[in-house]
Amino acid sequence: MSSENSPRSTKLKKLSVFTVLSFPHSDSEDRRQVDGSGVGGVRVRVSERCGMLQALMNLLSLCWKPFGRDADRFDSIGVIGSSFGGREGKDGLLWFRDVGKYGSGDFSMAVVQANQVLEDQSQIESGPLGTFVGIYDGHGGPDTSRYVCDHLFRHFQAISTESRGVVTTETIERAFRQTEEGYTALVSDLWNTRPQIAGAGTCCLVGVIFQQTLFVANVGDSRVVLGKKVGNTGGVAAIQLSAEHNANLEAVRQELRELHPNDPQIVVLKHGVWRVKGIIQVSRSIGDVYMKHAQFNREPLNAKFRLPEPMNMPILSANPTIISHALQPNDSFLIFASDGLWEHLSNEKAVDIVNSNPHAGSAKKLIKAALHEAARKREMRYSDLRKIDKKVRRHFHDDISVIVLFLNHDLISRGTVLEPALSLRSALDH
């Protein structure tokens, strides 16, 4: 997605060691004024005492203009064109970008709605020093996933700028922590008028490509799977890179029991599904503050969220599990998706679909394959499932978000990126 002043060419730009981590910054976000540190799209004051290097970093950060979320609009037929961000379209409850360019190659993006209000959010941010991908699978309403989509990348961007563009696991941990703290403060501010947002939360899956390293951070049960070329036969292996935090996994139940040894009800099996305190499946999330802070586990919060016994310590955690993966020439593509996809497709099936088809429409093909499987499980035709409207559709499948990144190792290994920068979020509702 391009701003008014951004070039539309795909000219390669060599990275400078002095360049700050300058991902695009959204026009529609609140502007902040910063002394002595620049973030793309933020006005900067440089005091006389700032060193030459800091001044240069600030100047360079201003070279990357902010990108507005509303820069692209649907035309009269429901599809918009973009030379870099790809074509956007709708097919019933399915929204998609079939193919576009990001810093290290092609991407494909899609989301299908099932809930009355879409609870999933997703985004791609790609600039001269890296690419950030987020999948936010909300529950209990859309409030938390929308908040995270608005704030997590901004925190990541500011923190990485403080360290002169270097990305580490600590960078990502701090961004998660600041986002969690911000949402908790929002719940506190709105407690008297909107207490229900204390019962909302979101899984949060983030991927960051920095230089030749992929960082993956996760809370909840979204997943990223790597498609890795095997030999010279054209085969591709499926390698899961994310750790999941779902009580249906024995390791997660064991972790919870060790953290809460005096609580025999810390995990409860209900109708064949393991849930934390009999309420929620995930053990880590952003939000869900009613399971983290005693002051929010009381009236006027809905009784179904309130625990019968006092909360002496947080039950859920917002600490992400983070892995780093050195990208190799045989790493072909990455599939980021909310758990609604993995409920119906195995890692191997998803990788086979992407590997067997052109880049364009990969994310959409994955979602449609999952919907075909959801229909088959209910002994119905896919064409009949498509006729079911949102809300009722939730009885057949969840909201599903998918982002596929194809890895161009010529770009990655040379330390070059495609420009212009990209800032893209999935549609808010369908």
The model's confidence at residue 188, banded by pLDDT at 50, 70 and 90, is very high
Lay out the sheet containing 105-112: strands in order across: 88-91, 94-102, 105-112, 400-406, 331-337, 223-230, 235-240
Q: 1 in a domain, yes or no?
A: no
pTM of whole model > 0.85? no
- Strand blocks (E) in 211-272: 213-219, 223-230, 235-240, 267-270
31-40, 230-239, 330-339, 368-377: which has the minimum mean pLDDT? 31-40
3-state secondary structure (DSSP) of residue 173: helix
Q: How far apart are CA 168 and CA 329, in angstroms?
A: 22
> Domain count of the chain?
1
Give the residue carrying structure tokens 């040894």: 261
Question: For the segment 144-156, what is each residue's pLDDT rounded down to a tens digit?
Answer: 999 999 999 999 9
Provide the 3-class DSSP secondary structure of residue 329. Answer: coil
pLDDT of residue 241: 98
Q: Which domain holds residue 49?
A: 12-246+318-425
Q: Which residues pair with 7 in a beta bridge?
A: none
Confidence (pLDDT) at 421: 85
Q: Are 97 and 424 in contact (CB under 8 A)?
A: yes
Query: Residue 32 maps to which CATH number?
Result: 3.60.40.10
DSSP 317: B
**pLDDT interval class at 418 (50, 70, 90):** low
Residue 279 belongs to some domain of the structure = no
Strand duo 34-35 + 44-45: pairing: parallel
**What is the distance between the alpha carbons of residues 198 and 188, in angstroms, rounded to a whole number?**
9
Confidence bin at 429 (pLDDT 50/70/90): low
Residue 281 is assigned to a structural domain of this protein = no
User: Is 291 a member of any domain?
Assistant: no
**Amino acid at position 281, single letter:** Q
In terms of pLDDT, which residue wins out, 361 or 50?
Answer: 361
Would you say residue 214 lies in a domain? Answer: yes
* Residue 303 lies inside a defined structural domain of this protein: no
Q: For 232-251, write each residue's pLDDT tens digit.
A: 888 999 999 999 999 999 99
Instruction: Report the Cα 197 to chain-centroid distance in Å.
Output: 20
Mean pLDDT across the stretch 295-305? 92
Give the model's confidence band at 416: pLDDT under 50 very low, under 70 low, under 90 confident, else very high.
low
Beta bridge pairs of residue 3 = none
- The better pLDDT of the pair 8, 276 is held by 276
Average pLDDT, the chain: 83
Mean pLDDT of 295-310: 90
Give the rounded percent of residues in the chain with a pLDDT score beyond 70. Answer: 78
